[in-house]
Structure 1
Amino acid sequence: MTNSSLDFSFIVGPEDAGARLDKLVLARIPGDAPARSLIQSWIKGRMIWINGQPCTKPSFCPPSMSLVRVRAALPQSGPVPMSGKIHEIYRDDHILVLNKQPGLSVHPAPSVELPTLVNFLISRDLFSGHFPDPDRPGIVHRLDKDTSGLMVVALNPDMAQKLSQAFQDREVEKKYLALVLGRPEKDQGEINQDLDRDPRSRVRMAVTRSGRPARTKYRVVHTGSDSKWSLVGLEILTGRTHQIRVHMAHLGHPVLGDSLYGREIHRTWDLKHRILAKLVKRQLLHSAKLGFKHPASGQWVSFAQALPKDFFRVFLYLEKKMQRVAITGAMGSGKSTVSRILRNLGYPVFCADSCVAGLYQPGQDGWTLIQRRFGDRFFDSSEGPVNKARLAEAIGQDKDILLEINHLIHPLVRHRLNKFWKEHRAKRVAFAEIPLLFESGLTKDCDLSVGVFCPDSIRGDRLEKKLGTGHGKAAVLDGHQLSQPEKIRRCALVVDNSAGPDDLEQRVRSLAIMLRYLRIKQVKKEAGLFQTRFDPDKVFHDTP
């Protein structure tokens, strides 16, 4: 590769006011103009100065009468050395195995923006010998620009020839992981469909009857809880352009983020969701395992590369679960006050007592079931609501009635509770005030229980004011529930309601902070489990 040095200056005239810097420089380079992407790389590399100061923004519009100076190397043949990160996995005198980051093209081409992997490689002076194609030194296979993962690069022409032959003879193990839409009908299989250029678009490949043979094995590794996405392990037995992406789209399960082959199907799943759109910035395809005979020693070598962070972020988002928190406690402990504070803080709150009151209204499910079982015993009229006072009096005299009522009503409350959770599933946390949380068995429908504690003497006074019937009836009603010590013992967290309203509000705010801490802790735990569970060595250990 030979370079000619450029060193010239020019003044931005009034007629150029408002023009981009890269376009201004491009128009003033003598001879054949290079690609604008090269000019942009000069600017980002601090090779172009405006009024004595480097400018690193190609889109910057210099004001009129600015002095622009260009000091750069204009390549006559071969790619330009450019500094950039290379994530080395293994290197010796013959080969380099690296983990290519997404968003990086492998080698220069007319439609490719610089820099590329090759630009980074040649800047490190890794190669020896003369390669037949100076634009692609050492490149024996490619990954798509937005595909991440393992690649092998030959460091001299002899190794390049041997590795190229190994790829051509299909003696290289190439395994990938991808997040795809939905779940394939079969847990594993082989896609054997010929590929060729799409006659309607030259930038796309397509399944055709007369294309080049292409074979892809796949296996479902994991499917999301809603079955809208899956992690799939793939092995390509041939090496066609966009092979995995085209084959998975043909199967009806395109790679997440693949706008070229999965655009229409993505729309059915609303990938334009604001948060998900920020997370899925490329096709989520990763070269996870690469094995081949070392071209110098002849020994089989194998490399594995864990999934990148964007896979983790998307996985955690797709599998995120709302924190379902139950608020419970003894009668008069202050559960309703805690619920009111939470509502004022903007959290959704379900109230089991309000739910039951609604079920007791004429024509509602609870009203119908009680009427069928007990007739008019607990009704003032055939069209009136359940008389809760009469029902409570009967329960005080016969505990079997309470058992029957609970048997009728609790399943209805559970149904409405789960409907509430579903309606608010996009929230990070939601609350449900359930006085009979443990007695009703609704703990199975919640993730965490919070008990509201209040000293018995204070509770008694509150109940007397609320019920207006003295401590006797309050004690009877309290006796139909678990004791306060037992309820508090079973709860994961406790809010102390002993010191008045201001103190209680502060304690509820502290509860919200603690719950956030627990959510973050759970996310970190799940991320670690994800990384361990989907380690490529484990995933592909028994791949057919």
Structure 2
Amino acid sequence: MFVVDRDEERIDRYLAQQGTWSRAKIQQLIASGRVTVDGKTARASMKVGAGQEIVVRVPPPVAIDVLPEDIELDIRYEDRDLIVVNKPRGMVVHPAPGHVRGTLVGALLGHIKDLSGIGGAERPGIVHRIDKDTSGLLVVAKTDLAHQGLAEQFKAHSVTRLYQALVHGHVGPMTGMIDAPIARDRHKRQQMTVVPEGYGKRAVTHFQVLERYQNYTFVQLRLETGRTHQIRVHMAYIGHPVAGDPVYASRDPLALHGQALHAHTLGFIHPRTGEFLLFEAELPAVLQATLRDLQRQKASL
């Protein structure tokens, strides 16, 4: 349910600005009678005003048959409640149309018998995710107790999440904070973008410079919120897109063939024991080699 916070706005445009569905999906939902305003079926052209309640009833997704797969996993921790894995770049977290096989969920089901059922049949145990071409640490729930406890921590933004990235250009300040709301791009529906205050979800990223090279900067980033593509969008917004990013960077002179972004550190309170657990995963080999090359170039100047 959405409560409208401004006057004289077309309902399809207002819902698109919330960043949950594409404009085409919203129009499809309206046409099929699944959107109501104050209890009455909406029309795509109608305008809504402040205080009105919009309810969107989304039909359940078409089920995808998730099969266990014999895929090797880099497991950093496991007990009866949860498992922490270091996901390689190129692996999709959960199945979706076009990515049914070779997913982290399939690999997990091939490794253990049961995952938390809270995420549904297609996302069992998945509490959070990272992009296909981002490597690094993820925690997955094996029990409902763990899933609920971890989800509460992610919602409260109390989970420690540190990323490392190689970005274009020289980032000026040694430390900084990017506080800029993010929503789905109205013209490129597969992308996210920074939008004016009030038109998207609040997104906050903290950064620290670790090393500067000739044309690049190696940074550490801490997520205060967890929006889709947040780091990639925020770094592009301040003029320093992640190197190799096929969406938000216009060039890939290092031939990385994927973004140089790694979920390096993950910390959380164990939902059963109350113990704080902290994990770190080294940079993937391709990124380590790239940094060594850049360091040699820097030393030769």
**TM-score interval, smaller chain:** 0.7 to 0.9
* Separation (CA, whole Å) in 2 of partners of 1:201 and 1:248: 18
* Separation (CA, whole Å) in 1 of partners of 2:298 and 2:219: 26
Alignment length (residue pairs): 238
* Separation (CA, whole Å) in 1 of partners of 2:212 and 2:298: 19
Alignment partner of 1:284 is 2:260: yes
Measure how far apart 1:317 and its partner are.
2.4
* Aligned residue number for residue 73 of structure 2: 86
Selected match of 1:127 from 104, 114, 129:
114
C-alpha RMSD over aligned residues = 2.1
Query: 1:104·1:146 contact (CA, 8 Å) conserved in 2?
Result: yes
* Separation (CA, whole Å) in 2 of partners of 1:294 and 1:150: 16
Alignment partner of 1:315 is 2:285: no
* Aligned residue number for residue 211 of structure 1: 200
Measure how far apart 1:200 and its partner are.
0.9
* Separation (CA, whole Å) in 2 of partners of 1:288 and 1:232: 12
* Aligned residue number for residue 185 of structure 1: 172
Measure how far apart 1:252 and its partner are.
0.4
Aligned residue for 2:71, secondary structure, equals: coil
* Separation (CA, whole Å) in 1 of partners of 2:127 and 2:64: 20
Tell me the TM-score normalized by structure 1: 0.42
Measure how far apart 1:322 and its partner are.
11
Query: Which of the pair is proportionally richer in helix?
Result: 1
Measure how far apart 1:129 and its partner are.
6.0
Q: Which moved more, 1:210-219 or 1:161-170?
A: 161-170
Measure how far apart 1:311 and its partner are.
1.1
Change (3 A) 1:170 1:145: same
Alignment partner of 1:244 is 2:220: no
Deviation digits for residues 509-534 of structure 1, max 9, x if unmatched? xxxxxxxxxxxxxxxxxxxxxxxxxx
- Note the 1:337-352 alignment, pairs <5 A: none
- Note the 1:99-110 alignment, pairs <5 A: 99-110=86-97
**What is the one-letter code of the residue matched to 1:295?**
P
**What is the one-letter code of the residue matched to 1:312?**
Q
**What is the one-letter code of the residue matched to 1:199?**
R
Query: 2:76·2:85 contact (CA, 8 Å) conserved in 1?
Result: yes
Change (3 A) 1:196 1:322: closer
* Separation (CA, whole Å) in 2 of partners of 1:212 and 1:109: 24
* Separation (CA, whole Å) in 2 of partners of 1:247 and 1:129: 32
Measure how far apart 1:132 and its partner are.
4.9
* Separation (CA, whole Å) in 1 of partners of 2:133 and 2:211: 23
Alignment partner of 1:257 is 2:244: yes
* Separation (CA, whole Å) in 1 of partners of 2:171 and 2:100: 35
Measure how far apart 1:114 and its partner are.
2.2
- Higher-Rg member (1/2): 1
Identity among equivalent pairs (%): 38
* Separation (CA, whole Å) in 2 of partners of 1:156 and 1:323: 51
Query: 1:98·1:152 contact (CA, 8 Å) conserved in 2?
Result: yes
* Aligned residue number for residue 351 of structure 1: none
Query: 2:77·2:83 contact (CA, 8 Å) conserved in 1?
Result: yes
* Aligned residue number for residue 154 of structure 1: 141
Measure how far apart 1:113 and its partner are.
5.1
* Separation (CA, whole Å) in 2 of partners of 1:103 and 1:132: 22
Aligned residue for 2:149, secondary structure, equals: helix
Selected match of 1:294 from 267, 270, 290:
270
* Aligned residue number for residue 195 of structure 1: 182
Query: 2:89·2:134 contact (CA, 8 Å) conserved in 1?
Result: yes
Aligned residue for 1:175, secondary structure, equals: strand
Aligned residue for 1:231, secondary structure, equals: strand
* Separation (CA, whole Å) in 2 of partners of 1:253 and 1:236: 17
* Separation (CA, whole Å) in 2 of partners of 1:260 and 1:113: 22
Query: 1:184·1:251 contact (CA, 8 Å) conserved in 2?
Result: no
- Note the 1:444-455 alignment, pairs <5 A: none
Query: 2:93·2:104 contact (CA, 8 Å) conserved in 1?
Result: yes
* Separation (CA, whole Å) in 1 of partners of 2:120 and 2:71: 22
Measure how far apart 1:124 and its partner are.
1.8
Measure how far apart 1:100 and its partner are.
0.5
Give unmatched runs, 5+ long, in structure 2: 1-62
Deviation digits for residues 288-336 of structure 1, max 9, x if unmatched? 1011110111111111111111111111222335999xxxxxxxxxxxx
Measure how far apart 1:112 and its partner are.
2.6
- Note the 1:131-146 alignment, pairs <5 A: 131-146=118-133
Deviation digits for residues 463-503 of structure 1, max 9, x if unmatched? xxxxxxxxxxxxxxxxxxxxxxxxxxxxxxxxxxxxxxxxx
Aligned residue for 1:221, secondary structure, equals: strand
Measure how far apart 1:202 and its partner are.
1.0
Change (3 A) 1:130 1:206: closer
Change (3 A) 1:182 1:311: same
Query: 2:117·2:125 contact (CA, 8 Å) conserved in 1?
Result: no
Change (3 A) 1:121 1:189: same
Aligned residue for 2:293, secondary structure, equals: helix
Query: 2:64·2:100 contact (CA, 8 Å) conserved in 1?
Result: no
Query: 1:126·1:155 contact (CA, 8 Å) conserved in 2?
Result: no
Deviation digits for residues 232-269 of structure 1, max 9, x if unmatched? 00000000000000000001001000010011xx3xxx
Aligned residue for 2:97, secondary structure, equals: coil
Query: 2:64·2:96 contact (CA, 8 Å) conserved in 1?
Result: no
**What is the one-letter code of the residue matched to 1:169?**
A
* Separation (CA, whole Å) in 1 of partners of 2:110 and 2:141: 15
Query: 2:267·2:277 contact (CA, 8 Å) conserved in 1?
Result: yes
Quick one: higher RCO (CA 8 Å, sep 6+), 1 or 2? 2
* Separation (CA, whole Å) in 1 of partners of 2:212 and 2:126: 35
* Separation (CA, whole Å) in 2 of partners of 1:77 and 1:179: 36
* Aligned residue number for residue 279 of structure 2: 303
- Note the 1:415-426 alignment, pairs <5 A: none
